[in-house]
Structure 1
Amino acid sequence: MMNLKEKADTFSWVGLEVDKLKMELDPFRREEILLPTEPGGWWHQYVCPQHHTELIFDVMEQDAVVFSCPKGCKLEGEPYRGAWLVYRHQAMARYALQSAVVFAADGEEFYSSLARKILVGYAEQFPLYPVHPDAQPWMLSGRAFHQALTEAIWSTTLIRAYLLLVDHGVTFTGEEEVKLQVFFTMLEESMEQYRHILIYEKKNAENNYTAWLNASLACVYAAKGTREKLASLLEGEGGFYHHLSIGVKPDGFEFEGSTYYHIFVLRAYLIAAEMYGRFGVDLYDAKGEQGQSIRGMFQLLAELSGDNGELPAVHDGPYARVPFAREIAEVFEIGIAVYKDPSLQPILANAYRYLYGQELRTGLEAVLYGAGESKELQTSYRVRDSVLLPDSGFAVLRHPGNPLSVLADFGEHGGSHGHFDKLHITIMHRWGEVAPELGMVPYGSVLRKEWYSETASHNTVTIGGRSQAPHTGSCCQFRQEGNATYLWIRSDGAYEGAVLERHLVLADGWLLDWFHVEQVTERSQEVDLWFHPTGHLLLPFDPHRVQKDSPAVLGLEAGYGSVEVLSAMKNETDCPLNTEWNIRYDGVSTCREYEVSTSTLLAPGSTMYEIRTPGNAEDPSRLLRGIMLRHKGPSVDFITVYRDGHEPAVLKLVSQVGEPPQIQIATTGQAVVYCLDPKAGLIQEKSRNTEE
């Protein structure tokens, strides 16, 4: 494998990117390096209490006392100062790594000196930090930060910088080396103690913490050259192989069912693999007890991603943020270099598009981990099959002739990072999102529990104005045929006395979503189906159908307090009402304009509410307009068809009284009839040419 000097000399794009990295470091030629002497707090508290957006961090500001919200709020004091310090410490560690990378590629002594000053500075400071007195009771307390987890991540960046310098011939003075060895030894003792508490006292070996404690210790052992201790992290309870076996499902998904924590753990595994590779141990093809592997974790993400490379924010995880995009860039540069898999490139390209506005290899991650002679990445549309993840409880429906796709969630709750969201669907278009999971705000925001984890913020059903109970649903059928993919998922644990069943059919011309709810309790409650599109909602309500006296709010608990009613239309007839509405995406955030048309059968007595809710977790104050369908009765069928373009399908109920429900989907030149059989599921009865 080429070293950085060879890469820069061989590939012109690497040399150009190294020059950009130099420019970012130029201020250190004029300014003294000021490492914060205070330990950091918890980064999740770096969030505006009014707008719930992450506060602005200026990487060039050496000592901040006022912290700004993107909406103009100014905040001072704790917990914002402590959270800002986390960002500052992490930024200085990144500068150390960046300086080491530039030196390795260019050889200029200024950059090795800069990296050394940061490393030795932290080595001097670390012994002065006590175990953090302000850490929350549930945390494993660190020294330099509230959380030992944050400390583990930070330490891997610093030690990677140290090893890169040493690999390229940099020698430290005797005094500097003593300070660094004290630092490494203290890290070693702390991480070993945290690891013992987590695995043997808390009995929580599967936690993502474990992967990071292992990664930090692997870095420490590599820096100290203690090969025998490095070997001890592979086997035994909480070791690499054990964690891979219990922290990752057999289908390749991290056990919490969160794309964010999946990448979080995958990054820790890759750092550990890098350290083991220094001693000739190859973990890139290692296998867990049920076949779990690093390669499989990459393939899982490729399966879940949208056609444009976007990853769904299922369960806890940010909708989008710069540090997360950098983590994706690092992970996928390594994955592409190791596995030579072109199916990973669209995800990497999407990360660079978010970071730099272009789908080209750019920045520190590209220089350090990228491989290949071109900055160009493969971003063209790929034909992929539908996929079922039976162990994790997710399914993705795709059809080569349909730009729409849908991801359905029926699996485990997800523990502390799960949402009350069973039978939720995420709808994507080839060029971007239609109705995504909204992501998760920093945990310091009250909206974490008041909105984003609640059922009402997801595209699924609530009953009685309450969120679902934490539970696991099931997959009754998954059938992929030449002309369509069918998924039948079920839940009987969300609400006592209620069965929820969702039937999804993705065909060439449409996506059919048939949600059936059955209540067997003596007193049936209101059933609400939620739909949260992120585009511009176009509702063709007739003025005489809009209820002017509709309530301003629908409830106060379980996320309902975050929902505002804008208008409502009730079906007061005896027949289902075909209601059509469109969602338009203007291309500002998606780079392409597209439109999705929607037809919904509004059951007799049901009400369609136009609602306004918090936006996605990147900016909750940018409110979204959505739809909520409400029906009161022992059973209800919510039936919706989505189509690409502005021409909606026409929906019609065609069954007779007493017969199983049948609907007809009619589009230009074609009509298809589906019947819902309680035992067999959704059956296509017939199709015909409507022009005959």
Structure 2
Amino acid sequence: MRLFSEATIEQARQKIGSTSWAAEGWQAVQHRVAEWHRRPGQIPEEAGGWIHNYICPEHWLPLRYNGNLSDYHACPAGHVCAGKKYDAAWRVWRHRQIADLAREAALAYVVLGVESGRETAVSILAQYAGFYSRLDGQSDAETWMLTGHAFNQALTEALWAIPLIHTYDLVADTLDSTLQAQLTQDLWQPLANVMTRAQDKLIAQNRIESNYMAWLNVTIGCLGFALNDPALIERAVQPPAGFTAHLDKAIFADGLEYEGSPYYHNFVLLAYLILAEAAKVNNVNLYTVTGSQGQTLTGMGCAFAQLAWPDGSIPDLSDGSYWQDSIYDSEICQAFEILNAAQPRNKFAWILRAAYRRQNATQDNWAALLYGPGETTTTGSVATGHTILKKSGIAVLRTDKMLAALVPFGPYRGSHHQYDRLSLTVWPFSRDAGSPLYGLPARKAWYPHSYAHNTLVVDGQSHANCGGELLDWDGHCLTTSAPEAYPGVTFKRTTEMKENTILDKVAVQSNETHTFDWVFHLDGDIKSPLDSQPLSGPLANGGAGSYIKLHSQSHVNESVSFDINYRSNFYRLTLTGEQPFTLLLGKSPGTSRYPQQRRHVLIGRTVGTQQRYQTTIVQL
């Protein structure tokens, strides 16, 4: 084996007898492998499409994957979707499921001595080698895609390939020379060509920092180590686009991936931890590699943990896999099982425990069974105090109560950017809107826009593609501005956390008359003593505002308060205006995790040249 050490395999065996979770995890693996061996599933001999199409356009919910039904795609709300794009998206899930099963089968053979596991693993590899050349994933790919061969996207192909390369490495010593040659000629060499061609395209486009690069590199690198190909190894690790160059280019000095998306940060981290473990077996230590600004793999893990809310969940910032039953938590578990074994930290164990709890899952994934040091028994929150990642432009303010706040003020982040500069996310009852699967029209029409976030909207328009600025931070009070958000408009926000209270101030000023909308979304139940007038219809006739449905309005001379009940935790929100304003009340689409659960939205509207809003949120 060139990707897994004998010591790692032996430790996995020993944990079966010493830890209950490992024994139970391997039993689950054996069961899945035995079920496949007893009734082998059919491997689709067609390319996979775009996984982001696997969403119901009516209910905005991910479709329920069933590996036995290639043309029946049911929404949890009861709607059934049909058509080629759904079938092609289903094939992505199916191919990835089979690749994961192949790795589990190979592990069952190597760790447990299950011969049927070896037979299953070899059969899957041989079948893919038999028809890989006939796949044509690029034929129906969209023009913007970095195309693959077995899938529309090279990125998807890399995600599918890694467990298959692991599978090969685990059983390679048992293969005869004929099958070895077939796999090399018909699968691994063509796959390497797809990956290196995609890598070269990103280099030519000056997109070395792309999160795609991490998964291209890990695939190229694992192929290089498994096949003992020095040229592929050098491509994966060295400049111009290998691990060392990508770490330096894509990761900020504070440890966060440049897009400011926790999802894509962990996505990149997982790829490089897989590469680091393979490299370690071959006497190359990527854990000690340090970028020009101090970036390291351990630092990436720490930056991710620093973003956590007090319950261990992670804010849904920018784009990402922020939908029901997504693979996000599973990827967190894989990444932090590897990282916590290699570089143990209490915060890593805590992140792990929270991710398993959210999934209601056991430690039966491949990374836990191979690398997991023990049961994730860390208790209590390690997300205490405040976090400010100045380069990334993210501040998280926490108390020891059920109350925390986040303000993003960082730079424009490219294609996964959302129009949420200087927004105020309040945990636990006013979280970020998130991002659904990208094939949903509302993913572009609603979720990224300023009206979907707790920020200031001017004249009904989202702010410009811009970043914000940090004006002051004294350890507990944050002052930020967004001078380029709206031309001719000065926009500042000051946010302070004290014990059980958030004090937030928004100041806006212009030489011309504008409509200034202070926006705040929340979940739970709300009550207000303010008399209001009925109102019916959308906030706007087009654009993101059309997704907000108003039901009442009030005139506010000075301030208005709302009592909030969120899961039996009680809060009071008081909004005060320096000048009188109109309060609009309505409902907005639910977060991308629960899109059918419409949210309350409060809009403080001022028409004029200036306004100062102060919001006080107190946990009662």
Q: Give the deviation of 1:604 after TM superposition.
A: 4.3
The answer as to 2:89 corresponding to 1:98 is no
CA displacement, residues 141-161 of structure 1 (integer Å, 9 cap, x when unaligned): 111100011001111111112
Which residue in the other structure is 1:528 paired with? 517
Q: What are the equivalent positions in structure 2 for 1:18-417 lying under 5 Å apart?
A: 18-59=26-67, 61=68, 63-130=69-136, 132-166=138-172, 170-182=173-185, 183-199=187-203, 201-320=204-323, 321-356=325-360, 361-372=363-374, 375-382=375-382, 384-400=384-400, 402-417=401-416
2:500 is the counterpart of 1:509: yes
State the alpha-carbon separation in 2 of the partners of residues 188 and 537 from structure 1: 54
For the pair shown, the structure with the greater C-alpha radius of gyration is 1
**Which residue is 2:527 aligned to?**
539
Deviations 1:409-447 (A, max 9, x none): 01112100000111012212xxxx221112101110001
Structure 2 CA distance for aligned equivalents of residues 277 and 293 of structure 1: 15
Q: CA deviation at 1:285?
A: 2.2
Cα distance change of structure 1 residues 104 and 15 upon mapping to structure 2, 3 Å threshold:
farther
> Which residue is equivalent to 2:595?
620
Root-mean-square deviation (Å): 1.7
From 15, 22, 34, the equivalent of 2:23 is 15
String of CA shifts for 1:582-637, please: whole Å, max 9, x gaps. Answer: 22222xxxxxx422221221454312222111111123122112211111111111
8 Å contact from structure 1 (residues 322, 355) kept in 2: no
Structure 1 residue 368: deviation in Å?
A: 3.0
CA distance 1:376–1:393, shift in 2 (3 Å):
closer
How far residue 551 of structure 1 moved from its aligned partner, in angstroms, is 4.7
The corresponding residue for 1:487 is 478
Q: CA deviation at 1:188?
A: 1.1
Superposition deviation, residue 131 in structure 1: 5.3
Per mean C-alpha deviation after superposition, the further-off stretch among 305-314 and 266-275 is 266-275
TM-score, normalized by length of structure 1? 0.85
**Greater Cα offset, 84-93 or 269-278:** 269-278
Measure the CA separation in 1 of the matches of 2:440 and 2:177: 47
- SS of structure 1 residue aligned to 2:446: helix
Aligned mates of 1:133, 1:382 — CA distance in 2: 49
Matched AA of 1:187: L
Cα distance per residue 1:428-479 (max 9 Å; x no partner)? 2xxxx22111210111000111110101001101000000001111011001
Distance across 2 between alignment mates of 1:21 and 1:594: 40
Contact (CA 8 Å) 2:481, 2:493: kept in 1 or not?
Answer: yes
Q: Is the 8 A contact 1:39 1:129 kept in 2?
A: yes
> In the alignment, is the contact (CA less than 8 A) between 2:22 and 2:363 conserved in 1?
no
The CA deviation at 1:46 is 0.6
Relative contact order, higher structure (CA 8 A, sep 6+): 2
2:31 partner amino acid: M
Task: Give the alignment's TM-score, normalised by structure 2.
Answer: 0.95
Counterpart check, 1:476 vs 2:468 = no
Q: Aligned partners of 1:147 and 1:2: how far apart in 2?
A: 33
1:423 maps to 422
Question: 2:395–2:406: 8 Å Cα contact kept in structure 1?
Answer: yes
- Helix, strand or coil for the counterpart of 1:302? helix
Task: Give the structure 1 partner of residue 584 of structure 2.
Answer: 609
Distance 1:134 1:530, change over 3 A: same
Distance in 1 of aligned mates of 2:383 and 2:112: 42
Secondary structure, counterpart of 1:475 in structure 2 = strand
Alpha-carbon contact 2:433-2:590 (below 8 Å) kept? yes
List alignment gaps of at least 5 residues for structure 1: 587-592, 646-692
Which amino acid in the other structure matches residue 414 of structure 2? G
Amino acid at match of 2:602: I
CA contact (8 A) 1:596 1:643 kept: yes
Specify whether residues 392 and 560 from structure 1 end up closer, same or farther in structure 2 by C-alpha distance, changes over 3 A only.
same
| Map of 2:550 onto structure 1 | 565
Q: Contact 1:326 / 1:365 at 8 angstroms: preserved in 2?
A: no
Gaps of 5+ in 2: 1-6
Partner secondary structure for residue 344 of structure 1? helix
CA contact 1:394–1:411 (8 Å) conserved in 2: yes
What secondary structure, in the 3-state scheme, does the structure 2 residue paired with 1:295 have? helix
Aligned residue identity for 2:491: L
Separation of aligned partners in 2, 1:103 and 1:355: 28
Q: Which residue does 2:436 correspond to in 1?
A: 441
Rounded to whole Å, the distance in 2 between the matches of 1:296 and 1:80 is 39
Between Structure 1 and Structure 2, the one with more helix by share is 2
SS of the residue corresponding to residue 36 of structure 1 reads coil
How far apart are residue 100 of structure 1 and its match? 1.8
